[in-house]
């Protein structure tokens, strides 16, 4: 299945760009894309703003941080740095996807 924001159902609904909201570690997240882009920011305030975005606006917000995080191979969540290939970073991703699945019934139906 080719999952993408422009793909037909159900693949399009499984895209990170789709607006499925949930709460994670006390932060309201409007889409998984917003959450993933937020991980590029060290600043919690910037993370919360980015988490409130859906789709292309979220991607655009994080794009300016690509060179920075890629050069360090580090991402952040709630002021804690996580190496990109670490078990701790993967654990955050797993917890976020589980929170989305458990909290958003529309996402879980897909």
CATH number at residue 24: 1.10.357.40
Domain count, the chain: 1
pLDDT, tens digit, 9 for 90 and up, residues 26-66 = 999 999 999 999 999 999 999 999 999 999 999 999 999 99
How many CB atoms neighbour CB 109 within 10 A? Answer: 8
* Tokens coding 105: 């019934």
Decide if 31 is inside a domain.
yes
- Domain membership of residue 1 (yes or no) is no
Domain that holds residue 31: 11-104
Residue 38 lies in a domain: yes
Answer whether residue 109 is part of any domain: no
More confident residue, 81 or 10: 81
Radius of gyration of the chain (CA): 14
């Amino acid at each position: 299945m080719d999952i993408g924001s422009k793909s037909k159902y159900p693949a399009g609904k499984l895209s990170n760009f789709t607006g499925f909201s949930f709460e994670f570690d006390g932060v309201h997240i409007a889409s998984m894309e917003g959450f993933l882009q937020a991980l590029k920011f060290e600043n919690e305030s910037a993370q919360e703003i980015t988490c409130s975005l859906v789709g292309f606006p979220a991607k655009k917000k994080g794009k300016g941080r690509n060179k920075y995080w890629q050069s360090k191979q580090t991402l952040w969540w709630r002021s804690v740095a996580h190496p990109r290939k670490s078990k701790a970073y993967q654990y955050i991703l797993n917890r976020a996807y589980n929170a989305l699945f458990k909290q958003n019934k529309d996402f879980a139906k897909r």
